[in-house]
Chains A and B, each alone.
Chain A
Amino acid sequence: MTFPVPCPNCGPREVLEFSYGGEARPHPGPGANFEELLRYLYLRVNADGPGAEWWFHRDGCRRWFVATRDTRTNRFLEHGAVPAEA
Chain B
Amino acid sequence: MSAERLPEDGPLQAIDRRHPIRLTVDGRAVEAFAGDTVGSAMAAARIEIVGRSFKYHRPRGLFCMAGACANCLVTIDDVPNLRACTTPVREGMRVRRQNGWPSVDRDLLRVLDRLSFLLPPGFYYKLGHRPRWAWPLVEPIVRRVAGLGRPPTAPDHAPRDRISLHADVVVVGAGPAGLAAAGEAARAGARTLVLEQEAEPGGELAIELGIVDVREPELAGLAGYRLAARLVDEAVRAGAEILVGTVTIGIFDGPVVAATDGQALYRVRARRVVLAPGAIEQPVVFAGNDLPGVMLSGAARRLLHRFRIRPGRRPVVFAASLHGHRIADELRAAGAEVTLVAPDPAAPPMPDVDVLPNTTVVAAAGRRRVEQVVVAPVDGGRRRSLPCDALVVAGPLAPATVLPAMAGAEIVFDPQVAAFLPGALPPELTVAGAAAGMTTVDSAIADGRLAGLTAALGGRPSIPDLDRRAVAGRRSLPPTRDAAGDGKRFVCLCMDVTDAEIRWAVAEGFDSMELLKRYTTVTMGPCQGKSCLLPSVRACARATGRDEASTGLTTARPPWTPVELGTFASDRLVPRKETPMHEAHSELGATFMWAGEWRRPLSYGSPEEEVRAVRDAAGVIDVSTLGKFVVRGPDALTFLERLYPVRLGDLEPGRLRYSVMCNDQGAILDDGTVCRLGDDEFFVTTTTGNAETVDRWMGWWATAWGLDVRILNVTGGYAAVGLAGPRAREILARLTEADVRNDALRYLRAAKIAVAGVPALVLRLGFVGELSFEIHVPSGFGRHLWDAVLEAGTGLGLRPFGIEAQRVLRLEKQHILVGQDTDAESDPYEVGLGWMVHLDKPDFLGRQALAELAARDPRERLVGFTADPAPVPPEGAAVVREGTWAGRVTSCRRSPTLGRVIGLAWVPADLARDGEVIEISFDGARVHATVHLPPFYDPEGLRVRS
Closest residue of B by beta carbon distance from A21: B700
In contact, B253 and A41 (Cβ under 8 angstroms): no
In contact, B703 and A30 (Cβ under 8 angstroms): no
| Cα–Cα distance between A19 and B696 once the two chains are bound (Å) | 10
| 7 pairs of A and B residues whose beta carbons are closest in the complex | A30-B843, A64-B703, A86-B704, A2-B254, A1-B252, A1-B253, A37-B848
In contact, B253 and A2 (Cβ under 8 angstroms): yes
24 contacts between A and B (CB under 8 A): A1-B256, A2-B252, A2-B253, A3-B254, A14-B269, A19-B696, A21-B700, A28-B848, A29-B843, A30-B842, A33-B848, A34-B852, A37-B849, A40-B664, A41-B664, A62-B699, A63-B703, A64-B699, A64-B703, A64-B704, A74-B253, A82-B703, A83-B704, A85-B706
Closest residue of A by beta carbon distance from B844: A30
Residue numbers in B under 8 Å from A56 (CB-CB): 696, 699-700
In contact, B700 and A64 (Cβ under 8 angstroms): yes
Contact with B along A44-86 (1 / 0, CB 8 A): 0000000000101010001111000000001000000011111
| Cα–Cα distance between A37 and B845 once the two chains are bound (Å) | 11
Residue numbers in A under 8 Å from B664 (CB-CB): 27, 37, 40-41
Contact with A along B930-942 (1 / 0, CB 8 A): 0000000000000
Contact with B along A14-44 (1 / 0, CB 8 A): 1000010100000111101110010011000
Residue numbers in A under 8 Å from B252 (CB-CB): 1-2
Q: B847 an interface residue at 8 Å Cβ cutoff?
A: yes
Given contacts A34-B852, A82-B703, 12 further A-B contacts (CB under 8 A): A1-B254, A2-B253, A21-B700, A30-B842, A40-B664, A56-B696, A64-B699, A83-B704, A83-B706, A85-B706, A86-B704, A86-B706
Q: Which of A1, A21, A30, A63 contacts B847 (CB 8 A)?
A: A30
Contact with A along B696-719 (1 / 0, CB 8 A): 100110011010000000000000
Closest residue of B by beta carbon distance from A74: B253
Q: B665 an interface residue at 8 Å Cβ cutoff?
A: yes
| Cα–Cα distance between A30 and B842 once the two chains are bound (Å) | 7
Residue numbers in B under 8 Å from A84 (CB-CB): 706
In contact, A34 and B253 (Cβ under 8 angstroms): no
Residue numbers in A under 8 Å from B842 (CB-CB): 30
**Chain B count of residues within 8 A CB distance of the other chain:** 20
Residue numbers in A under 8 Å from B700 (CB-CB): 21, 54, 56, 64
Closest residue of A by beta carbon distance from B711: A62
| Cα–Cα distance between A41 and B665 once the two chains are bound (Å) | 8
In contact, A30 and B696 (Cβ under 8 angstroms): no
Closest residue of B by beta carbon distance from A2: B254
Residue numbers in B under 8 Å from A85 (CB-CB): 706
| Cα–Cα distance between A37 and B852 once the two chains are bound (Å) | 11
The smallest C-beta distance from B926 to any residue of chain A, in angstroms, reads 39
Residue numbers in A under 8 Å from B253 (CB-CB): 1-3, 74
| Cα–Cα distance between A61 and B585 once the two chains are bound (Å) | 34
| Cα–Cα distance between A64 and B700 once the two chains are bound (Å) | 6
Closest residue of B by beta carbon distance from A34: B852
Q: Which residues of A contact B (CB under 8 A)?
A: 1-4, 14, 19, 21, 27-30, 32-34, 37, 40-41, 54, 56, 58, 62-65, 74, 82-86
Closest residue of A by beta carbon distance from B665: A41
Contact with A along B238-280 (1 / 0, CB 8 A): 0000000000000011101000000000000100000000000
Residue numbers in B under 8 Å from A65 (CB-CB): 703
| Cα–Cα distance between A27 and B704 once the two chains are bound (Å) | 9
Q: Which of B657-681 contact A (CB under 8 A)?
A: 664-665
Closest residue of A by beta carbon distance from B702: A64
The smallest C-beta distance from A80 to any residue of chain B, in angstroms, reads 11
| Cα–Cα distance between A34 and B849 once the two chains are bound (Å) | 7
The smallest C-beta distance from A8 to any residue of chain B, in angstroms, reads 11
In contact, A32 and B848 (Cβ under 8 angstroms): yes
In contact, B699 and A30 (Cβ under 8 angstroms): no
The smallest C-beta distance from A44 to any residue of chain B, in angstroms, reads 14
| Cα–Cα distance between A72 and B252 once the two chains are bound (Å) | 14
The smallest C-beta distance from A47 to any residue of chain B, in angstroms, reads 17
| Cα–Cα distance between A28 and B582 once the two chains are bound (Å) | 47
Closest residue of A by beta carbon distance from B700: A64
The smallest C-beta distance from A36 to any residue of chain B, in angstroms, reads 8
Residue numbers in B under 8 Å from A3 (CB-CB): 253-254
Contact with A along B830-858 (1 / 0, CB 8 A): 00000000000011000111001000000
Residue numbers in A under 8 Å from B269 (CB-CB): 2, 14
The smallest C-beta distance from B360 to any residue of chain A, in angstroms, reads 47
Residue in A3, A30, A32, A85 whose Cβ sees the most chain B Cβ within 10 Å: A30
| Cα–Cα distance between A33 and B700 once the two chains are bound (Å) | 23
| Cα–Cα distance between A27 and B847 once the two chains are bound (Å) | 13
Residue numbers in A under 8 Å from B849 (CB-CB): 37
Closest residue of B by beta carbon distance from A58: B696
Residue numbers in B under 8 Å from A83 (CB-CB): 703-704, 706
Closest residue of B by beta carbon distance from A30: B843
Residue numbers in B under 8 Å from A32 (CB-CB): 848
Closest residue of A by beta carbon distance from B256: A2
Residue numbers in B under 8 Å from A2 (CB-CB): 252-254, 256, 269
Residue numbers in A under 8 Å from B254 (CB-CB): 1-4, 14
The smallest C-beta distance from B271 to any residue of chain A, in angstroms, reads 10
Residue in B256, B703, B842, B847 whose Cβ sees the most chain A Cβ within 10 Å: B703
The smallest C-beta distance from B371 to any residue of chain A, in angstroms, reads 51
The smallest C-beta distance from A46 to any residue of chain B, in angstroms, reads 19
The smallest C-beta distance from B427 to any residue of chain A, in angstroms, reads 10
Residue numbers in B under 8 Å from A74 (CB-CB): 253
Contact with A along B218-252 (1 / 0, CB 8 A): 00000000000000000000000000000000001
| Cα–Cα distance between A64 and B253 once the two chains are bound (Å) | 23
Residue numbers in B under 8 Å from A41 (CB-CB): 664-665
The smallest C-beta distance from B579 to any residue of chain A, in angstroms, reads 22
| Cα–Cα distance between A62 and B665 once the two chains are bound (Å) | 25
| Cα–Cα distance between A30 and B843 once the two chains are bound (Å) | 5
| Cα–Cα distance between A35 and B779 once the two chains are bound (Å) | 48
The smallest C-beta distance from A10 to any residue of chain B, in angstroms, reads 15
The smallest C-beta distance from B75 to any residue of chain A, in angstroms, reads 33
Contact with A along B510-528 (1 / 0, CB 8 A): 0000000000000000000
Residue numbers in B under 8 Å from A40 (CB-CB): 664
| Cα–Cα distance between A54 and B704 once the two chains are bound (Å) | 10
Residue numbers in A under 8 Å from B699 (CB-CB): 56, 62-64
Q: Which of B759-800 contact A (CB under 8 A)?
A: none
Residue numbers in B under 8 Å from A54 (CB-CB): 700
The smallest C-beta distance from B656 to any residue of chain A, in angstroms, reads 26
Q: Which of A21, A34, A63 contacts B848 (CB 8 A)?
A: A34
Closest residue of B by beta carbon distance from A27: B704
Residue numbers in B under 8 Å from A37 (CB-CB): 664, 848-849
Closest residue of B by beta carbon distance from A32: B848
| Cα–Cα distance between A37 and B252 once the two chains are bound (Å) | 37
| Cα–Cα distance between A33 and B269 once the two chains are bound (Å) | 48
Residue numbers in A under 8 Å from B706 (CB-CB): 82-86
Closest residue of A by beta carbon distance from B695: A62
Residue in B253, B269, B699, B848 whose Cβ sees the most chain A Cβ within 10 Å: B848
The smallest C-beta distance from B702 to any residue of chain A, in angstroms, reads 8
Residue numbers in A under 8 Å from B847 (CB-CB): 30
Closest residue of A by beta carbon distance from B254: A2
Residue numbers in A under 8 Å from B843 (CB-CB): 29-30
Residue numbers in B under 8 Å from A62 (CB-CB): 695, 699
The smallest C-beta distance from B845 to any residue of chain A, in angstroms, reads 9
| Cα–Cα distance between A36 and B703 once the two chains are bound (Å) | 22
The smallest C-beta distance from B108 to any residue of chain A, in angstroms, reads 47
| Cα–Cα distance between A6 and B811 once the two chains are bound (Å) | 47
The smallest C-beta distance from A49 to any residue of chain B, in angstroms, reads 16
Contact with A along B453-476 (1 / 0, CB 8 A): 000000000000000000000000
Residue numbers in A under 8 Å from B848 (CB-CB): 28, 30, 32-34, 37
Residue numbers in B under 8 Å from A86 (CB-CB): 703-704, 706
The smallest C-beta distance from B710 to any residue of chain A, in angstroms, reads 13
